[in-house]
Structure 1
Amino acid sequence: MDYKAIAQQTAQEVLGYSQDTTGWKVVKTSKKITVSSKASKKFNGNIYRVEGIIPQSTSKLCELLYLPEHRVTWDKSLKAFNMVHRIDSDTFICHAITQSFAMGSISPRDFIDLVHIKHYEGNRVIISSNSVDFPGYPPSSNYIRGYNHPCGYVCSPVGENPAYSKLEMFVQTEMRGKLSPSIIEAAMPSNLISVILNAKDGIKALRSTSGCACHPKSHSSFLKKK
């Protein structure tokens, strides 16, 4: 499997979602966070777009979103998040286990995702992810193996105040199992808003440490080789 080619393609797709202004329908707004959706072209479900302003610079926000030492401290939707294989300095395989949500009607899933960090002009950073097969982590009987079609974060500085960032999150997750689509559609918007609110809480904790900038050396020591 050509992981590098998949990673590049996924980043381009996420960039395309960010530039796409047609067909989105606002499904929920709360605390200055907006969730929009439309039918996914990848599977029989929706792609969600979540937008908000985060009181943190792009580089600091970037590390908060993908470094395991930070991610597991704030992201209450996850039981576990580990980098399990490094492909190159900006491309790696992650294993994530989610919490149940929607009052337990959606049970925990696990995901094997190819994550890629790509920098663009204007200090824009895309953290893209796409589920892949990885021999080191085959599906187990402990969790239903979900599948993330091209997803990711687009982090951009707010022009008038670079200490703030615009965060766009794109999610098109195939939960699999025997879930009714209506259950997913009813639960997903609130769950996605919670992720952004939890990230803001995580920033408060991060500010008490010096942290590390979002560049290749930032994540190398956290990789677990399998």
Structure 2
Amino acid sequence: MNNFREKCEEVARKLQDYYKTEDGWTVAKKTKDGATISYRTSNEFDGYLYKGECMIDAPPATVFHYVDPLPDGPRGKWDSDMKKIEVIDWLEEPELRVNRACTASACMGLISPRDFVDIILTKETDSYISTNGVSVTYEKCPEEKKFVRGFNHPCGLICEKIPGEPNRTKLVSLIQPDLGGMLPRSLVDQAIPGSMAAFFHRTKECIKEKRSCK
């Protein structure tokens, strides 16, 4: 358990470093509702680190409630990319857990359903609320034939608090997934920015309408 916490604390440090480093990013997509998706070469694997950013007119705690991947939270209802979210184990409730997330197929079925088993640490500071996760091999959660097991390199969501504006939040998503299987790199690179843009759009819409449905 201590090793898992240490691993997640290291992830949290990496995510803050990723977020605060301004150089080296290439913009992949900008949306009408204010989201910007950028990427740069990952230091963790032979792929890209993706960063999504968007301002949301809601307090950080509200935004975090909507995006935190918990089975009994709104995320499992409104995020159509998530077919299933489950907590395999609470290691230190409510901060540290082992999560399993199952994703839908993508790109008209060219990317088959995936599942990811991650340790996730929730942190709150004076500046932000965040999830900080990385994939692990976990005995209680073996691979299933109907899913390709993916691997999330250090990833997370940051709900940044805006000084003097308690009802606004800068939502940041940092991901660098290895989807596994024999997927062409170009297909993955094409799919991720669009998926991230849709995530921000749905988050804003659900919070605006105060709903948790898809």
TM-score when normalising by structure 2: 0.92
The counterpart of 1:39, out of the listed 41, 59, 73, is 41
What aligned pairs does 1:102-121 form with structure 2 within 5 A after superposition?
102-121=107-126
Structure 2: gaps spanning 5 or more residues: none
Q: In percent, how many aligned pairs have the same letter?
A: 29
Secondary structure of residue in 1 paired with 2:106: coil
1:180 aligns with 2:181: no
1:130-153 Cα distance to aligned partner (Å, 9 max, x none): 101111101121110000000001
Quick one: distance in 2 between partners of 1:158 and 1:36? 22
Indicate yes or no: 2:97 matched with 1:92.
yes
Distance 1:139 1:206 in 2: 36
One-letter amino acid of the counterpart of residue 186, structure 2? S
Secondary structure of 1:48's partner? strand
Amino acid at match of 1:120: T
What residue ranges of structure 1 are gaps of 5+ in the alignment? 209-226
What's 1:144 paired with?
A: 148
* Counterpart check, 1:68 vs 2:71: yes
| Offset of residue 207 of structure 1 | 6.2
Question: Is the contact between residue 51 and residue 175 of structure 2 (CA under 8 Å) also seen in structure 1?
Answer: yes
Q: Let me know the Cα RMSD of the aligned residues.
A: 1.5
Look up the match of 1:126.
Answer: 130
Following TM superposition, by how much is the alpha carbon of 1:205 offset from its aligned partner in structure 2, in angstroms? 5.0
- Aligned-partner SS, 1:168: strand
Q: Residues of 2 paired with 1:206 and 1:91: CA distance?
A: 27
User: Is the partner of 1:134 in helix, strand or coil?
Assistant: coil
Cα distance in 1 for residues equivalent to 2:57 and 2:189: 29
* 1:178 maps to amino acid: M
Deviation, structure 1 residue 157: 2.2
Please state if 1:163 is matched with 2:167.
yes
The 3-state SS of whatever aligns with 1:121 is coil
Q: Matches of 2:80 and 2:18 in 1, distance apart?
A: 26
- Structure 2 letter corresponding to 1:21: E
Matched residues in 1 for 2:71 and 2:60: separation? 17
Question: Would the aligned equivalents of 1:74 and 1:201 in 2 still touch at CA under 8 Å?
Answer: no
User: Are 1:20 and 2:25 matched, yes or no?
Assistant: no
2:93 matched to 1:101?
no
- Structure 2 counterpart of 1:158, one-letter code: I
Deviations 1:52-106 (A, max 9, x none): 0112111111121223221111111110011120111301011100011112111
Runs of 4+ in 1 over 6 A off after TM superposition: none
- Count how many residue pairs are aligned between Structure 1 and Structure 2: 207
Q: 2:193 & 2:173 partners in 1: Cα distance?
A: 12
Whichever residue aligns with residue 190 of structure 1, its letter is G
Task: Give the AA of the match of 1:39.
Answer: T
Question: For 1:194 and 1:146, how far apart are their aligned partners in 2?
Answer: 21
